[in-house]
Amino acid sequence: MDTVSKVFGRIPPAPPTLADVAELAGVSRQTVSNAVNNPDLLRADTLLRVQQAIDQLGYSPNRAARNLRTRASHLIGLRIQPVQEGTANALMDRFVHSLVEASREAGYHVLLFSGDPIDALAGYDDLLRSTAVDAFIVTDTYLGNPQAAWLGARRAPFVAFGRPWDNPDAPHPWVDVDGAAGCDLATSHLLDKGHERIAWIGWRKDSFIGEDRRAGWSRAMRARGLPTTGLASRVEDTVSSGRDASAVLLDEAQPSAFVCASDTLAMGVLRTLAERGLTAGRDVAVVGFDDSQVAQVVASGLTSVRQPLEDVAVEVVKALEGRLGHPPAIHPGVLLSPTLAVRGSS
Amino acid sequence: MDTVSKVFGRIPPAPPTLADVAELAGVSRQTVSNAVNNPDLLRADTLLRVQQAIDQLGYSPNRAARNLRTRASHLIGLRIQPVQEGTANALMDRFVHSLVEASREAGYHVLLFSGDPIDALAGYDDLLRSTAVDAFIVTDTYLGNPQAAWLGARRAPFVAFGRPWDNPDAPHPWVDVDGAAGCDLATSHLLDKGHERIAWIGWRKDSFIGEDRRAGWSRAMRARGLPTTGLASRVEDTVSSGRDASAVLLDEAQPSAFVCASDTLAMGVLRTLAERGLTAGRDVAVVGFDDSQVAQVVASGLTSVRQPLEDVAVEVVKALEGRLGHPPAIHPGVLLSPTLAVRGSS
DNA sequence: TTGAAAGCGCTAACAC
DNA sequence: GTGTTAGCGCTTTCAA
């Protein structure tokens, strides 16, 4: 009586095991295992025979058994947070897809989990202790986020998308996008178009990311010997903040262009322009950040700095493979350069 | 010599096992297992003692071992596709988060995989044969998609987000949102505002979803005895198609309002209005579908039909639990009603 | 109510 | 090159 009908009188048919393949091919189980994991060890004709048996039965190694034996799950954990409604911030969608794709090529799958809002660490802890994932991708590296330190202390392998701002010497691998370079790019683009009074609308000063992006703007301005005083504003990341800030700047500093730390803020600028009967791109130029769908479909289009998320994902997975290797190979950090998606608003 | 230092002279410290807990609590391994899975079987004081040992060691059952033994992974697979750039379609982000949340409460994690573009089924097959997931959530139920039939033939448990349009008697559980009701809601909203000539911009006729939504519009119009002839257009789901279609309709049928099958099309309408110096919401009303971020942040806001994705996720997981139960409980299908997010454009 | 034994399917280590 | 042995950590019988 075969395994199938012994275990399941009904559905579903139990998938074939190593033993089934071995029997069919007339070899031992170990040889089948080798055929799958170390084909080089087999003689060509044996390998072929085993291969045929595998194909014939539609055999695929049972993950649970393999995981148990190898102490690896080939799963990487990614914590996702709720979409922020009312903003244009939707990086994650693109990043997640890129990550899944890059992971697949490296033999990993992505396991999603949601943060217990009260205890962000709980989800990590659970997966870690139950050895459900081999590593994590950490994306929310805002200031004071304890995840990196916490994971580090537990020796949990992880790669961060985002620099360790508060600790440049952090020992974990990370990948990030050069926000300053992006805003420099955006500002220089406007300067090349003849703009001289280019305003900045960014986030509050306690945001490292925001200050980094702002630095790109001021750097580009200074490189042309242009003043920046009175041309900058720091606000919350909402459409209405962008609207209010741009109205004030327009009144007090008469800029001919805006560079914003986010598409959300840029949408606020567009709103102010519309309210004043000004046309974006003709009367006043506007550049956003993140190349969200919003930037892509809004009337006449919003020029925006685009993060190379596909490349980020590839680098993240590369770093992960290094970290998971024996011995672990930690390359310090990777900084990628964004590009500029030029549209009608500039 | 304990397990830890035997296996790992170095890092990372091996997580505690059932045996470790059993030793500490002075009971057998089986008793610890029961404490975790069938606490009722234990005497109160034994349970307490085991619980303390578990807490003290930070024990969490090894998933791979449990999966191997129980033939279940407590993972559900979700295939994700690339974000469509240049459109406002970003349902998935919200749905995925809701699904992760709902799954967590049911004891499941979500495993993401990407479709091999060439062979969409390959990803499913791989995960299925390696028993990596217990079930799938299928979201792309477009016409002629072979996934449902294929999975059904393999007796693979799955729940669809989307009706089996081409086979109403399909035996699998599904959850969907009533698009007709949504467009009826949108149209009635406009009718209540006094509009009588309300145009429809939807997708090509071979889209069941598009025709369903369109039916809601015509139903609402007919309910008030209003004509629909000459007021409808069927195009591709792009901004420029929406722009062109609305320009034609405006010229030929003089509608005072538009209901669109997607926010993407609605953005096209807004573009036409802007080009003609018309103000959305004042001169011409516009309603989109999906309540995307685009609808939320665009100047003055775009009224849009909002799918209750959180509820969809809950129902999907509920259906999944039924399907995975012993015996499987298949409830036929669940149809949820969308709501209308009213903003400045109407 | 608790414990002992068996085995899920696989691979690492070693023998042949 | 191939086969044998052992055991990853857990849960499901079954016995005490």
pLDDT value of residue A13:
67
Are B188 and B164 within one domain? no
The CATH number linked to A44 is: 1.10.260.40
Contact A81, A115 (CB under 8 A): yes
In a domain, B296, yes or no: yes
Are B170 and B188 within one domain? no
**A33: nt with nearest C1' to CA:** C11
Q: How many CB atoms lie within 10 A of CB A314?
A: 21
Specify the number of domains making up chain A.
3
B308 contacts: CB under 8 Å, gap ≥ 6: B177, B336, B337, B338, B339
Are B152 and B207 within one domain? no
pLDDT greater than 90 at residue A345: yes
Rounded distance between C-alpha atoms, residue B298 and residue B184, angstroms: 24
Rounded distance between C-alpha atoms, residue B178 and residue B191, angstroms: 20
Q: Using a CB-CB distance cutoff of 8 angstroms, which residues of chain B are in contact with residue A114? A: 97, 100-101, 104
Averaged confidence pLDDT in chain A: 91
Rounded distance between C-alpha atoms, residue A235 and residue A239, angstroms: 10
Chain A nearest-CA distance from B2, in A, is: 18
CA of A51 to C1' of D10 (A): 31
Are A296 and A186 within one domain? yes
Are B184 and B293 within one domain? yes
Which residues constitute the domain of residue A137? 75-177+309-335
In a domain, B299, yes or no: yes
Look at the alpha carbons of A61, A67, A70, A72 in this order and tell me if their dihedral is positive or negative. Answer: positive
* Among B92, B261, B69, residue whose Cα is nearest residue A96: B92
In a domain, B68, yes or no: no
- Nearest by CB to B109, from A89, A113, A297: name it: A113
Identity of residue B312: V
- Nearest by CB to B73, from A64, A81, A96: name it: A64
The CATH number linked to A287 is: 3.40.50.2300
Are B81 and B184 within one domain? no
As a whole number, mean pLDDT of residues A57-78 equals: 94
Residue spans of alpha helices (H) in B165-238: 179-192, 208-223
Rounded distance between C-alpha atoms, residue A260 and residue A280, angstroms: 14
B145 contacts: CB under 8 Å, gap ≥ 6: none
Measured over all CA atoms, what is the biggest interatomic distance in chain A, rounded to whole angstroms? 87
**A70: nt with nearest C1' to CA:** C11
In a domain, A340, yes or no: no
Contact at CB, A129 and B59, closer than 8 angstroms:
yes
DSSP E strands, A166-206: 174-177, 198-203
Q: Using a CB-CB distance cutoff of 8 angstroms, which residues of chain A are in contact with residue B113? A: 100, 104, 109-110
Q: Using a CB-CB distance cutoff of 8 angstroms, which residues of chain A are in contact with residue B94? A: 83
Contact A101, B80 (CB under 8 A): no
Question: Which residues in chain B land under pLDDT 70?
Answer: 1-13, 142-144
- Which of A7, A101, A109 to probe the B interface (max B CBs under 10 A)? A109
For the residues of B239-274, what is the DSSP string, one character each? HHHHHHHHHHHHHHH--SEEEESSHHHHHHHHHHHH
In a domain, A69, yes or no: no
In a domain, B236, yes or no: yes
Are A226 and A323 within one domain? no
pLDDT value of residue A143:
63
Q: Is B85 exposed, middle or buried (0-12, 13-18, 19+ CB in 10 A)?
A: exposed
pTM: 0.93
Q: Within chain A, how many helices (H) and strands (E) appear?
A: 14, 12
B5 contacts: CB under 8 Å, gap ≥ 6: none
- pLDDT by residue (tens digit) across A129-174? 999 999 999 997 776 678 888 998 888 999 999 999 988 888 899 9
For strand D, the positions having any atom within 7 A of a protein Cβ are 1-5, 7-13
Contact B197, B229 (CB under 8 A): no
- pLDDT by residue (tens digit) across A169-222? 888 999 999 999 999 999 999 999 999 999 999 999 999 999 999 999 999 999
pLDDT value of residue A4:
32
Say which range, A4-13, A62-71, A317-326, B173-182, has the weakest mean pLDDT: A4-13
pLDDT value of residue B83:
85
CA B40 to chain centre: 37
In a domain, B341, yes or no: no
pLDDT value of residue B6:
30
The interaxial angle of helices A29-37 and A18-25, nearest 10 deg, is 100
Q: Using a CB-CB distance cutoff of 8 angstroms, which residues of chain A are in contact with residue B88? A: 293-294, 297
Q: Is B138 exposed, middle or buried (0-12, 13-18, 19+ CB in 10 A)?
A: buried
pLDDT value of residue B12:
56
- pLDDT by residue (tens digit) across A102-114? 999 999 999 999 9
Rounded distance between C-alpha atoms, residue A18 and residue A24, angstroms: 10
Are A268 and A316 within one domain? no
Are A149 and A101 within one domain? yes
Rounded distance between C-alpha atoms, residue A311 and residue A186, angstroms: 20
pLDDT value of residue B143:
63
Are A99 and A38 within one domain? no
Are B57 and B119 within one domain? no
Are B79 and B170 within one domain? yes
DSSP E strands, B27-108: 75-80
Contact B219, B159 (CB under 8 A): no
Contact at CB, A63 and B131, closer than 8 angstroms:
yes
Measured CA distances, B28 to A130, B6, B20, B33, B43 (Å): 20, 21, 10, 9, 14
Q: How many CB atoms lie within 10 A of CB A42?
A: 18
Contact B228, B218 (CB under 8 A): yes
- pLDDT by residue (tens digit) across B172-219? 999 999 999 999 999 999 999 999 999 999 999 999 999 999 999 999
Rounded distance between C-alpha atoms, residue A173 and residue A170, angstroms: 8
Look at the alpha carbons of B215, B216, B221, B225 in this order and tell me if their dihedral is positive or negative. Answer: positive
In a domain, A142, yes or no: yes
- pLDDT by residue (tens digit) across A287-313? 999 999 999 999 889 999 999 999 999
